[in-house]
Amino acid sequence: MNVHNASGRRAALPADLARVLRTGPFHEALRAAITARGLALSRVRHRLAERGVRVGVTTLSYWQRGERRPARAESLRAVGALEDVLELRRGALTDLLRPTPDAAPSARPYRTLLDTAAPIAAILADLGAPSDGGVHSLCQLERVTVGRRRELLRRRSEQLLRAHRDGVDRYLAIHVGDPGCDPDRVVVRADENCRVGHVRGDRRAGVVVAELLLDARLRAGETRLIGYTVEDGTAGESREYVRGFSYPGGQYVLQVSFDPDDLPVRCHRFARSSAGAPPGDRRELVLDGRYPSVHLAEERVRDTILGISWEWAPTRRTNLSPPGGPGRR
């Protein structure tokens, strides 16, 4: 499609494309612009290369499906070149990547972040939850405790939430246990500025979804600090803890603490691009002899998966009690 008329002036954009360029999200606008121009991704890649910008077809596909979001400087330069290739005004796509306090960020689908996405989606539907949740995290601190049986004993989470639409009155906390997790014996406790509503679990997937009800409905742009704890301790030996991020941009701190009498021999921080992908960006974390814990800190997370993994010594103490749980809800 040629967007210039015979006089060389830019013709009006198709109505659907003009609308999504105003409202976003970025991935829908990019997909609509590529469709409107009738270009295959290979042609888009070729035209970018002619401008000295190298972006793979796979990356372009991720961007237009919302599975990744341009964030680094070189990616943002590529988006500027895309505006030229797709014959859009300067800033048409780049502006959609700039966060504003009240703007609804683009959510990455659960299926790209979790192997257990299908049962979680079913639980969310049962709870009548909107697909985007209505809130995103500006800052999150998680403290994970590994017990004396090397099990994931509990995790405590504190989050500063911001609503990106009016009327939000709850946050949905998702807990994915280790293999063998028994959702019936997992306990969710509200610690600060919220209360526990409905709790649903899927025994085969080992997942729990809990409603954390807020004290008032939030308007778009309003924030709320909440805290909650998940008591697990129902599965076997734990070897990693991961957190998937549907929304980019927030701060994240994860601390994993171990029993001082049974420390892992090695710990690593890692990232994954999607569920099932091999870990990348691995960095060793050193256990401090004074404190039996390690941590990672991200000032601005991408819509990705972050985690800490650890390796146990092959020998085990033999006087440990059998697996149990903290009790039923």
Tens-digit pLDDT profile for residues 163-216? 887 889 999 999 999 999 999 999 999 999 999 999 999 999 999 999 999 999
Indicate whether 104 pLDDT > 70.
no
Indicate whether 251 pLDDT > 80.
yes
80 and 120 both lie in a single domain: no
278 and 300 both lie in a single domain: yes
Q: Give Cα separations from 214 to 15, 119, 132, 164, 228 (angstroms).
A: 39, 25, 17, 15, 12
Look at residue 298 in the predicted model and tell me its pLDDT. Answer: 93
Over the Cα atoms of the chain, what is R_g? Answer: 23
CA atoms lying within 13 Å on the CB side of residue 131 = 10
263 and 119 both lie in a single domain: yes
CA atoms lying within 13 Å on the CB side of residue 278 = 2
Look at residue 318 in the predicted model and tell me its pLDDT. Answer: 42
Tokens in use for 283? 């960095």
Instruction: Look at residue 33 and tell me if it is in a domain.
Output: yes
Nearest Cα to Cα of residue 157 among 100, 95, 227, 214: 227
Would you place residue 107 in the very low, low, confident or very high pLDDT band (cuts 50, 70, 90)?
Answer: low
Q: What is the CATH number of the domain that holds 52?
A: 1.10.260
Q: Which residue has the higher pLDDT, 294 or 246?
A: 294
Nearest Cα to Cα of residue 256 among 179, 150, 137: 150
Look at residue 315 in the predicted model and tell me its pLDDT. Answer: 67
164 and 251 both lie in a single domain: yes
Tens-digit pLDDT profile for residues 286-316? 997 788 999 999 998 876 889 999 999 986 5
Mean pLDDT, rounded, for 69-82? 88
What share of the chain in percent tops pLDDT 90? 57
Q: Where is average pLDDT lowest: 14-23, 234-243, 301-310?
A: 14-23
Q: What is the CATH number of the domain that holds 184?
A: 2.60.40
- What is the total count of domains within the chain? 2
Of 53, 76, 97, which marks where a domain is finished?
Answer: 97
Please count the other Cβ atoms lying within 10 Å of the Cβ belonging to residue 243. Answer: 22
Instruction: Look at residue 325 and tell me if it is in a domain.
Output: no
58 and 154 both lie in a single domain: no
Instruction: Look at residue 1 and tell me if it is in a domain.
Output: no
Indicate whether 261 pLDDT > 60.
yes
Tens-digit pLDDT profile for residues 137-172? 999 999 999 999 999 999 999 999 998 878 899 999
279/263 Cα distance (integer angstroms): 22
214 and 242 both lie in a single domain: yes
Q: Taking all residues of the chain, what is their mean pLDDT, rounded to a whole number?
A: 85
Range of the domain at 145: 110-311
Instruction: Look at residue 69 and tell me if it is in a domain.
Output: yes
125 and 231 both lie in a single domain: yes
120 and 228 both lie in a single domain: yes
Tokens in use for 267? 């710990």
Angle at 206 between CA 280 and CA 316, to 5 degrees: 70
pTM beyond cutoff 0.75: no
Look at residue 326 in the predicted model and tell me its pLDDT. Answer: 42
